[in-house]
């Protein structure tokens, strides 16, 4: 399989990003409602904002896809009137970059639930670094800051890792992913066994 991005790969990545850009825009309202419960519970749902990177990487499985998808989704969120303004784009770049780095560390050969969850953690770390630069984290007491970090990481593992993985697995069952991902040798061996 060629590692370079083809026009089809880019277009599919952008379509995924557009869908997630709309989800990201709407997710701000969901996060605000969850925030009302207090105790940093909104951090548990934060991982949804990293999903474009992992879903696209799981479908396309080529270098650059995670970064492209996250930046494009963040751009879409910004263009649809994100309550976070330009900040959504700067976060998206950092989040996509760290997710991409995780896939690169595995040389784009592992797309397991563990690898995807690590990519989610990478995106969470990127967002936490940006949060730290805003300066409000130092106002939190230690127990509150611990909840903040822990819930962000847990939410990232669940949404960005596990949910993205399950979503793409469900798409694979329908055969949709085969439109953009060529058949593997295992696919051909399965055909030979049936014949």
Report the pLDDT value the prediction gives residue 135, as an integer from 0 to 100: 76
pLDDT of 30 strictly over 90: yes
CA-to-CA distance for 188 and 184, rounded, in angstroms?
Answer: 7
Q: What is the structure's pLDDT at 193?
A: 65
Q: What is the pLDDT of residues 108-135, one digit of tens each?
A: 999 999 999 999 999 999 999 999 988 7
Neighbours of 130 (CB within 10 A): 14
Q: Which two tokens stand for residue 24?
A: 């990201």
Average predicted confidence (pLDDT) for the chain: 90
* pLDDT digits 0-9 by tens, 178-189: 877 765 666 556
pLDDT in the model for residue 183: 58
Given a cut of 60, whether residue 90 has pLDDT beyond it is yes
Confidence check: pLDDT of 160 > 90 = yes
Query: What confidence category does residue 83 fall into, taking pLDDT thresholds of 50, 70 and 90?
Result: confident
- What is the full DSSP assignment across 50-102? GHHHHHHHHHH-STTHHHHHHHHHHHHHHHTT-TTTTHHHHHHHHHHHHHHHH
The model's pLDDT over 47-71, given as tens digits with 9 standing for 90+, comes to: 999 999 999 999 999 999 999 999 9
Percentage of residues of the chain with pLDDT beyond 90: 68
């Amino acid at each position: 399989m060629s590692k370079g991005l083809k026009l089809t790969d880019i277009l599919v990545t952008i379509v995924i990003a557009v869908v997630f850009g709309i989800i990201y825009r709407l997710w701000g309202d969901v996060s605000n409602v969850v925030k009302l419960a207090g105790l940093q519970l909104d951090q548990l749902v934060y991982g949804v904002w990293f999903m474009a990177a992992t879903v696209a990487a799981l479908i396309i499985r080529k270098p650059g896809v995670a970064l492209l998808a996250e930046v494009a989704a963040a751009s879409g969120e910004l263009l649809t009137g994100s309550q976070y303004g330009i900040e959504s784009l700067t976060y998206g770049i950092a989040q996509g970059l760290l997710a991409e780095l995780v896939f690169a560390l595995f040389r784009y050969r592992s797309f397991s639930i563990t690898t995807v969850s690590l990519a989610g953690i990478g995106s969470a770390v990127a967002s936490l670094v940006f949060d730290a630069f805003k300066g409000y984290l130092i106002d939190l007491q230690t127990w509150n800051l611990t909840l903040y970090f822990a819930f962000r990481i847990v939410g990232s593992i669940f949404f960005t890792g596990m949910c993205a993985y399950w979503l793409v697995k469900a798409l694979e069952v329908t055969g949709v992913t085969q439109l953009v991902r060529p058949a593997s040798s295992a696919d051909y061996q399965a055909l030979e066994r049936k014949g």
